[in-house]
Structure 1
Amino acid sequence: MPSLATLGLLSGVALLLWRIFRSYIVKSPLDNIPGPARTSFWKGDIPALFHRNGWNFHDEATERYGQAFKFHGPLGAKGLYVYDPKALGSIIVKDQMIYEEPSWFISLNPVFSIAHMRHMTPLFYETTHRLRRAVTTQVAGGSSEVDILNWMSRTALELVGQGGLGYSFDLLEKDIPNPFGDALKRYLPLNFALQLWRMFSPYFTKCGPPGLRRFVAKFLPYSKMQQLREIVDTLDYQSRKVYNQKKVALEKGDAAVVQQIGEGKDIISILMQANMDASDEDRLPEDELIAQMSTLVFAATDTTSNALARTFHLLAEHPDVQEKIRAELLAVGGNDDIPYDQLVDLPYLDAVCRETLRLHPPVSFLSRETRADVVMPLSQPIHCVDGSIMNEIPVPKDTTVIIGIRGCNRNKAIWGEDALEWKPERWLSPLPKSVPDARVPGVYSNLMTFLGGGRACIGFKFSQLEMKVVLAVLLRSFRVTLSDKEIVWNLAGVNYPTVGREASRPSMPLKLEPINLA
Structure 2
Amino acid sequence: MTLTSIQWGLISAIVLLALYRLRHLFIRGPLHNIAGPPSASLFTGNLKQLFDSNGWAFHRSLLEQYGSVARVTDFLGAPRLFVSDPLALYHIVIKDLPVYDEFPHHYKLCYLLFGDGLFAAEGEEHRKQRKMLNPVFSAKHLREIVPIFLDVTYELRAVISNKIKSGVEEIDMLDWMKRTALELIGRAGLGHSFDVMQDGSIDEYGSSIKSLFPILYDFAMFLAAIPHLMKIGSPSFRRFVVESSPSRGIRQIKEKVDVMEKTSKHIYQQKLAALHQGDEVLAKQIGGGKDIMSLLLKENLMASEEDRLSVSQVLGQMSTLIFAAMDTTSSALSRILCILATNPEAQNKLRKEVREAHALAEFSYDTLDKLPYLEAICRETLRLHPPNAMIHRRSTQDSVLPLSMPVRGRDGSTITKIPVPGGTPVTVSLLSLNRNKVLWGDDAYEWKPERWLKPLPAAITDSKIPGVYSNIMTFWGGPRGCIGFKFSLLEMKVVLAVLVESFRFELTQDIAWDMGIITVPRPASAPADNKSPFLPMKVSLAEDEDKCIV
CA deviations over 1:385-418 (Å, ceiling 9, x no partner): 3443321111122222111111100011100111
For 1:8, the equivalent position in structure 2 comes to none
Q: Residue 205 and residue 388 in structure 1: after superposition, are their counterparts in 2 closer, same or farther (change >3 A)?
A: farther
SS of equivalent to 1:439: coil
Residues in 2 aligned to 1:234 and 1:79: alpha-carbon distance in whole angstroms: 38
Given that 1:35 and 1:65 are in contact with CA atoms closer than 8 Å, whether structure 2 keeps it comes out as: yes
AA at the equivalent of 1:95: D
AA at the equivalent of 2:52: H
**How many residues of Structure 1 are paired with residues of Structure 2 in the alignment?**
504
Residues in 1 aligned to 2:354 and 2:322: alpha-carbon distance in whole angstroms: 30
AA at the equivalent of 1:196: M
Residues in 2 aligned to 1:502 and 1:318: alpha-carbon distance in whole angstroms: 31
For 1:164, the equivalent position in structure 2 comes to 189
Bigger mean CA offset, 300-309 vs 117-126: 117-126
Bigger mean CA offset, 195-204 vs 393-402: 195-204
CA deviations over 1:452-498 (Å, ceiling 9, x no partner): 111111311111111111111111111111124x4221111111112
Identity level (%) = 43
For 2:71, the equivalent position in structure 1 comes to 70
For 2:35, the equivalent position in structure 1 comes to 34
Residues in 2 aligned to 1:212 and 1:45: alpha-carbon distance in whole angstroms: 38
- Pairing partner for 2:537 from 480, 499, 510: 510
Deviation (angstroms), 1:94: 1.0
Bigger mean CA offset, 48-57 vs 406-415: 48-57
Deviation (angstroms), 1:235: 3.5
Runs of 4+ residues deviating >6 angstroms: 14-20, 277-282
Unaligned runs of 5+ in 1: 1-13
Q: Residue 494 and residue 16 in structure 1: after superposition, are their counterparts in 2 closer, same or farther (change >3 A)?
A: farther
- Pairing partner for 1:411 from 406, 428, 436: 436
CA deviations over 1:175-221 (Å, ceiling 9, x no partner): 31344444444444554554432244444444444544454445666
Which TM-score applies when normalising by structure 2? 0.83
AA at the equivalent of 1:507: F
Q: Residue 213 and residue 44 in structure 1: after superposition, are their counterparts in 2 closer, same or farther (change >3 A)?
A: farther
- Pairing partner for 2:358 from 327, 333, 352: 333
The residue correspondences of 1:93-492 to structure 2 (distance < 5 A) are: 93-105=94-106, 106=110, 107-108=118-119, 111=134, 112-170=137-195, 172-192=197-217, 194-218=219-243, 225=250, 228-275=253-300, 284-334=309-359, 337-484=362-509, 486-492=510-516
Q: Over the residues paired in the alignment, what is the CA RMSD in angstroms?
A: 2.9
Q: Residue 347 and residue 102 in structure 1: after superposition, are their counterparts in 2 closer, same or farther (change >3 A)?
A: same
Deviation (angstroms), 1:156: 1.0
Q: Residue 152 and residue 220 in structure 1: after superposition, are their counterparts in 2 closer, same or farther (change >3 A)?
A: same
AA at the equivalent of 2:454: S
For 1:493, the equivalent position in structure 2 comes to 517
Given that 2:105 and 2:225 are in contact with CA atoms closer than 8 Å, whether structure 1 keeps it comes out as: no
Given that 2:403 and 2:416 are in contact with CA atoms closer than 8 Å, whether structure 1 keeps it comes out as: yes
AA at the equivalent of 1:430: P
Bigger mean CA offset, 232-241 vs 45-54: 232-241
Bigger mean CA offset, 302-311 vs 64-73: 64-73
Which TM-score applies when normalising by structure 1? 0.88
Residues in 2 aligned to 1:131 and 1:459: alpha-carbon distance in whole angstroms: 23
CA deviations over 1:268-299 (Å, ceiling 9, x no partner): 23434555566777665544432321111100
SS of equivalent to 1:40: coil
For 1:21, the equivalent position in structure 2 comes to 20
Given that 2:467 and 2:477 are in contact with CA atoms closer than 8 Å, whether structure 1 keeps it comes out as: yes
Deviation (angstroms), 1:75: 4.0
Given that 1:20 and 1:77 are in contact with CA atoms closer than 8 Å, whether structure 2 keeps it comes out as: no
Given that 1:86 and 1:379 are in contact with CA atoms closer than 8 Å, whether structure 2 keeps it comes out as: yes
SS of equivalent to 1:134: helix
Unaligned runs of 5+ in 2: 1-12, 111-117, 120-129
CA deviations over 1:61-82 (Å, ceiling 9, x no partner): 2222221112222244322111
